Amino acid sequence: MANLFARTRLLESKIDEYLNHTSEVGLLFREAMKNFLDGRLDEFEERRGKVCDLENHADELRREVERQLYIETLIPESRGDVLGLLEQTDDVINHVKLALMQVSVENPDIPAELGEGYLELADYGSRAVQELVMGVRAFFRNTAAVPDHAHKVAFWEKEADKVAERLKRRIFQLDIRLSHKIQLGNFVMHVDSIADQAEDVSERLSISTIKRSI
């Protein structure tokens, strides 16, 4: 199938930049969580600030793409799918920003025996985001590659769910205050939400890809 943006190079460039931001946010999420778990709070806040900056710029790029699609009446047959994918991908970035903000605000006391599980959960979320970004890129250039990336997003989301359940069980077996258990359990959900959101976008991506093939 021909490149969706064969005659719209500027638009393609903006979407590429947007996806670069999404990929970087996913990578920063994992590193920021590692910083926090290692007690390197200055580095955590530095990476959290970078995520906020990328989120702001990604919003600007998304609005520019929307204006260009409507004002210049580009790719009208695929406009709705493109806009929907970008908006849902923006939710991934927002979930990362929210998760890191919650960590920053509450500064939870995470027992050492749980640190590895939280980091593993963040890592799987980051991997899901990277596969999602590659899948969205493939949607614009090579739709035959989309199912492979969608499958990998689903794989990492399932792995994240396994870790999340294991973490929650361990949390509620600890001899700590119930309020502390609830806080730690809430953080599991925040971190796990990254992989969940990536899978939500991936499912829409798969549907949009099928529509293009009909």
Residues in the chain: 214
Residue 170, Cβ density class (10 Å: 0-12 exposed, 13-18 middle, ≥19 buried): middle
Percent of the chain with pLDDT over 70: 92
Of the pLDDT bands very low, low, confident and very high (cuts 50, 70, 90), residue 81 is: confident
Residue 139, Cβ density class (10 Å: 0-12 exposed, 13-18 middle, ≥19 buried): buried
Q: Alpha-carbon distance 24 to 58, whole Å?
A: 11
Q: Alpha-carbon distance 197 to 95, whole Å?
A: 8
Give me the half-sphere count of Cα atoms (radius 13 Å) on the Cβ side of residue 93: 26
Structure tokens at 92: 């991934």
Domain boundaries, the chain: 9-213
Q: Which residue has the higher pLDDT, 1 or 28?
A: 28
> Using CA of residue 70, residue 72, residue 78, residue 81, what is the dihedral sign?
negative
77: pLDDT strictly greater than 80? no
Mean pLDDT of the chain, nearest integer: 91
Q: What is the mean pLDDT of residues 10-32?
A: 93
Q: What is the pTM (predicted TM-score) of this model?
A: 0.91
55: pLDDT strictly greater than 90? yes
pLDDT in tens, 123-149: 999 999 999 999 999 998 888 999 999
55-58's contacts with Cβ under 8 Å and 24+ in sequence apart are 55/21, 55/25, 55/93, 55/94, 55/96, 55/97, 57/21, 58/18, 58/21, 58/22, 58/25, 58/90, 58/93
Structure tokens at 53: 């900056």
Of the pLDDT bands very low, low, confident and very high (cuts 50, 70, 90), residue 1 is: very low
56: pLDDT strictly greater than 90? yes
Question: What pLDDT is attached to residue 73?
Answer: 59
Q: Is CATH 3.40.50.2300 correct for 9-213?
A: no
Question: What pLDDT is attached to residue 140?
Answer: 84
74: pLDDT strictly greater than 70? no
Of the pLDDT bands very low, low, confident and very high (cuts 50, 70, 90), residue 203 is: very high
Question: What pLDDT is attached to residue 79?
Answer: 74
Question: What pLDDT is attached to residue 12?
Answer: 82
